[in-house]
Amino acid sequence: MNALARAETLSVLAASVTDAALSQRDSGKEPT
């Protein structure tokens, strides 16, 4: 696997993890 593909894979993985964390946090919030 070349470095560019690897960096792209990590970027996508990080984005999905961040998105999951944000949606988890938002769902835990109480409605105002």
Distant-in-sequence, close-in-space partners of 9: CB < 8 Å, separation ≥ 6: 1
CA–CA gap between residue 4 and residue 32 (Å, rounded): 44
What pLDDT is attached to residue 31? Answer: 64
pLDDT digits (tens, 9 = 90+) for 1-32: 799 999 999 999 999 999 998 888 887 776 66
Closest CA to 10 of 1, 24, 21: 1
Report residue 32 as tokens. Answer: 């105002």
The whole model's pTM is what?
Answer: 0.62
Alpha helices in 1-32, H assignment, sequence order = 3-28
Instruction: Please give the pLDDT value at position 26.
Output: 81
